[in-house]
Amino acid sequence: MSEQVSEEVITEVEDGVLIVTINRPEAKNAMTKAASEAIAAAMDRLDAEDDLRVGILTGAGGTFCSGMDLKGFLRGESPSVPGRGFGGVVQAPPAKPLIAAVEGYALAGGLELMIACDLVVANAGAKFGIPEAKRGLVAAAGGVMMLPDQIPERVAMELALTGDFIDAKRAYELGMINTVTEGSALEGAKELAAKIAANGPLAVRVSKQIMKESRGWPMDERYDRQGKLIAPVFVSEDAREGAAAFAEKRAPNWKGK
């Protein structure tokens, strides 16, 4: 395992997984400009380094993220990165899979960080909400736009207009999260990441790309557009290696090409 520590964000590498931890537990991991910039840099690293297969985003001290740092907001600071958005990720997530590991609260911008991730593992005691309206604000970092794409629209509307929280059981029932753990959400996320990292990296990346982009494709163009993206995967060295490994009853040795 390797580790890099900045003042507000810790990054670690473990078995091809980049673990990014928001490290402001004294402030419930409220997002600052510095933390956003550090997360953006970590996302760039995730996509740039071939040995990294999956990312995990989590928070220190038993909280995922309580949203924007309001003290910074009052000073005129924006916890966003140009081109990347709030938290360095909501506007432009990485091409590789990103898992949120949620303990405690994922609120406001914290929920928006979470739903910008591809998969979510949460502890049974976690709470979720976009309470911005209670402060005279709008969940503008994707909450009011992205949440209705991920859960029923009327439920998303209720969360946005009331600012109420829901628990992990309800979030799971709505399909907002993938897995509820009784123990560490991070350990659960590592288990999920290991399953993804064991698969062909080209296939994983393109599968994510198609699932994200195809919703906006015209129906009569979908298979043509998909075909252009998957063609390089099907003629790749990894595709041949996957077939050979299956025939030879062994684990594949992926090269990512």
Residues annotated as part of the active site = 112, 132
Query: Is the distance from CB of 105 to CB of 126 less than 8 angstroms?
Result: yes
Alpha helices per DSSP H over the chain: 33-48, 70-74, 109-116, 143-150, 153-162, 168-174, 185-197, 201-213, 222-234, 237-247
What separation, in Å, do the N-terminal and C-terminal C-alpha atoms of the chain show? 25
- 16 burial via Cβ count (<10 Å: 0-12, 13-18, 19+): middle
Tokens 């996509």 -> residue: 47
Beta-bridge partner residues of 119: 99
CA 159/CA 90 separation, integer angstroms: 19
Signed CA dihedral, 169, 171, 175, 176: sign only: negative
